[in-house]
Amino acid sequence: MPQDESVSGEREQNPDDDAAAEVRPDRLVASVVPAWLPRAYLLAAATVAGVVITFWGLMRLRGLLTVLVVSLFLAFAIEPAVNWLAARGWKRGAATLAVFVVVTVVLVGFVWTMGELVVGQVTTLIKNLPRDMHSAVTWINSTFHTDLSVTDITDRTSDISSKLQSWALDLADDVWGIGTTALGVLFQGLGVLLFTYYFAADGPRFRNAVCSLLPPQRQRPVLRAWDIAVEKTGGYIYSRALLAFCSALAHYAAMRVLGIPSAFALALWVGVVSQFIPTVGTYLAGALPVLVALAHNPRSALWILGFIIVYQQFENYVLQPRITATTLDMHPAVAFGAVLAGAALFGATGALLAIPVTATAQAFLAAYVRRYDVEIPPKPEPARRTRSRRRAPDAD
């Protein structure tokens, strides 16, 4: 009995042991795991799922987003002309349609002229191929003291011609793929035209609809950025059009003096391609007139090549700074880097849109970023050297 009473007394004295024995596993887990950890796991999983779904949607809608971006910047480009017509009493829809008609006529005229040039030059080249080949072989033999003949060159180029024929046959067999690609390009072009028309015709309404979703303190920077984008994009297009006109006029005069055939088409090619294709446009523009002149008169080809180089320097240092001073003031290194970055990110579309996008960003930063004068500390004056004079020895 005394032993049982001591045991019961110990149990009464230690009630925590019974409570510890009665603790369930779920209560133990709840006491060890924080209550916020499951919610954090769910939030992280939802965030990852949202990022994956957003990325998947952007990849699926990449074509539509490209069409919208191109349409928006084309609308920015023609909106100054639409605003100019609207300020003189035109309705915005009619003004936008008039600008569209003018741009379409210019593009169709350019394509038609270049098509005639290509067909005419290819026909002339095929017709004069035997004579030109004989003249080339004669010049090579007399210059390099070789003993070539037209038959040797024909045999050596037979492999190239057979490869070209097989490539042409493979291309002709893939008519369905070519037709599908052409249909897709045509559909995207129509989409660009449709969205560009709506963005330009309903520009103020679209701008107000976007700004109505923002608080009043955010509306002013958005409207300012919108105006800068319209100003810089339109200025880029119009300054390039003026430079293209000057280039075409100068090269047309030079080609007429040198007697190069298809002078108008070649001058139009030089003017448009050199101004509207970034970075490599100048080389592509100058190569075609040199090749056409080379097929007719090598001396004329040298003269036109020299004229293209001289005019390019005149345009870079005289015309372009004066024309683009108020529309698109951008350092050539910045423009070149922007084109490379745009091409790396978005291909040909990014290369074409890189310069107006960079000009817009540069103008926006210039409007909202404060700059300070650089204080150059004064240079310390050089220490003056003192020459030690030798004392004359004392006379005894």
CB atoms under 10 Å from CB of 280, counted, come to 12
Map residue 24 onto helix, strand or coil: coil
Q: What residue has token string 């002078």?
A: 263
Residue 192 lies in a domain: no
Residue 76 lies in a domain: no
What pLDDT is recorded for position 307?
Answer: 92
Q: How many whole angstroms separate alpha carbon 150 and alpha carbon 238?
A: 51
Residue 94 lies in a domain: no
Residue 374 lies in a domain: no
Is residue 237 within 8 Å of 360, Cβ to Cβ? no
Q: Say if residue 223 is exposed, middle or buried (CB neighbours under 10 Å; 0-12, 13-18, 19+).
A: middle
Q: Is the dihedral of CA 303, 279, 275, 186 positive or negative?
A: positive
Residue 153 lies in a domain: no
Give the count of domains, the chain.
1
Determine the structural domain holding residue 267 and report its residue range. Answer: 228-369
Query: How far is the CA of 278 from the CAs of 15, 229, 283, 333, 349, in angstroms?
Result: 87, 19, 10, 12, 11
Q: How many whole angstroms separate alpha carbon 354 and alpha carbon 323?
A: 20
Residue 278 lies in a domain: yes
Per residue of the chain (396 residues), what is the pLDDT tens digit? 444 544 444 444 455 455 444 555 555 555 566 777 778 888 889 999 999 998 898 888 888 888 888 888 888 888 888 988 988 989 988 999 999 899 888 888 888 887 777 667 667 766 766 676 777 777 777 777 777 766 666 655 555 556 655 665 565 556 566 667 767 777 888 888 888 888 888 888 888 888 888 888 888 888 888 888 888 788 888 888 888 899 999 999 999 998 888 888 888 889 888 888 766 778 888 888 888 888 777 788 889 999 999 998 888 788 877 776 666 666 667 777 777 888 787 777 777 777 777 777 777 776 667 777 777 777 777 666 555 555 555 554
Residue 280 lies in a domain: yes
| CA nearest to 282, candidates 319, 314, 312, 313 | 312
Residue 333 lies in a domain: yes
Q: How many whole angstroms separate alpha carbon 229 and alpha carbon 162?
A: 52
Helical ranges in the chain per DSSP H: 2-13, 15-21, 25-32, 37-60, 62-86, 92-127, 129-144, 150-156, 158-173, 175-201, 203-211, 216-258, 263-276, 281-296, 298-314, 320-323, 332-368
Residues in the chain: 396
DSSP annotation of 202 reads: T
Is residue 292 within 8 Å of 317, Cβ to Cβ? no
∠ Cα 146 152 156 (to 5°):
115
